[in-house]
Amino acid sequence: MNSNWLAKSWAVFQKEWRSEMRSKHGLYTSILFSLLAVIAMSFAAFGSPPKPDIAAGMLSVTFLFSAVVALPRTFLAEDENNTFDMIRLAAEPSVLYFGKLMYNGVQSLLSCLVLGVVFVGVTGTSVRDPLLFASACVLTSTCVAGGVSLCGAIVIGSDNRWLLGTAAAVPVMLPQIFLGMGALRTSFGSGMATNGWSAAIGLAGWSLVLWSAGPVLAPSAWKTDNSIG
């Protein structure tokens, strides 16, 4: 990774940001899903705050699905709109992947932070450990961005993308769901603080794995090399 590589990745990030700010496709999809999910959950609880374990599960699921409906588009839209050939001839696959991963990271972070606050406000869930809650939201967002980007990149160009995406998403997302729920549950007052922080550290580690492995693993699925030059 050098400054040239980072500058190119930054150019891809800017392209994604500009496109999204002008089309707002992912943003609107994410907001719509998240708000409906939170409102539905608050109705389901009949106005009383849900128990910490249930609240953690509900928020984790909402984080995950708001990301799943919006983030893979960064990759899939390139394929569906026939724009992928243009940029993959112009830059190394790892550059394209990392630029898109950065963009997904930012979108996911904003989405998780807003969603976390809205969820707590609407459902009336009490947060016993605000620092752990904030850490869980931030780390879940980085995990989700890393996982969804990896799956989106792997399935691009595949004939059976939804089947492949589902098969790839289960092992990538399960650790994040398990650890994220653990950290959120403790932040809402269930279980021991040390368990919550252990889960948060686990989330940080899984994020690191996904963000490091993604630029190496995902672009290998894009290679079409007929050349021996």
Which residues of this protein are in contact with another protein, per CB under 8 A? Answer: 4, 7-8, 11-12, 14-15, 18-19, 22-23, 81-83, 85-91, 95, 224-229
Q: How far is the CB of 134 from another protein (least distance, A)?
A: 33
Cα distance from N-terminal residue to C-terminal residue, the chain: 24
For 28, residues 6+ apart whose C-beta sits below 8 A from its C-beta are none
**Distance of alpha carbon 110 from alpha carbon 22, whole angstroms:** 17
* DSSP letter assigned to residue 49: P
Of 53 and 92, CB closest to another protein: 92
Of 97 and 119, CB closest to another protein: 97
Of 95 and 112, CB closest to another protein: 95
Q: How far is the CB of 77 from another protein (least distance, A)?
A: 10
- Six-digit token string for 96: 């394209």
Q: How far is the CB of 213 from another protein (least distance, A)?
A: 23
Distance, C-alpha 48 to centroid of its chain: 29
Q: How far is the CB of 7 from another protein (least distance, A)?
A: 7
**Distance of alpha carbon 148 from alpha carbon 169, whole angstroms:** 7
Of 48 and 227, CB closest to another protein: 227
Helix (H) or strand (E) run with residue 217 in it = helix 193-217
